[in-house]
Amino acid sequence: MLIMVRKIGETVVIGENIEVTLVQVQLSQNQVRLGITAPREVGIYRKELLQAIARENTRAAAPTRVDQLPAQLPNKRAVDRDDNA
């Protein structure tokens, strides 16, 4: 990880077409505001959101045990019998 010191209004250039500018420092809230200029095709995401989405996708894709299914799901045999009646 590269660590740099920047003052408000100073910019860091990444590659040829991405700029990150320090916009504001709020010491009381332990925050900084960054301005990012990049082409539209470059995705810019907060890391914690990407991690939360990845966790949710992993959870949703996990196999479900039959005994964990909700009790209100119809019994397949009962549905088949109703269809043949």
Query: Does the structure show a pLDDT above 70 at 71?
Result: no
Q: What is the pLDDT of residue 60?
A: 85
Give the pLDDT band of residue 70 (cuts 50, 70, 90): low
As given in the structure block, the two tokens for residue 44 are 């810019």
Sequence-distant (6+) residues with CB within 8 A of 55 are none
Q: Are 14 and 21 in contact (CB under 8 A)?
A: no
Percent of the chain scoring above 70 in pLDDT: 75
- Alpha carbon distance 23, 20 (integer Å): 9
Query: Does the structure show a pLDDT above 70 at 14?
Result: yes
Q: Are 39 and 15 in contact (CB under 8 A)?
A: no
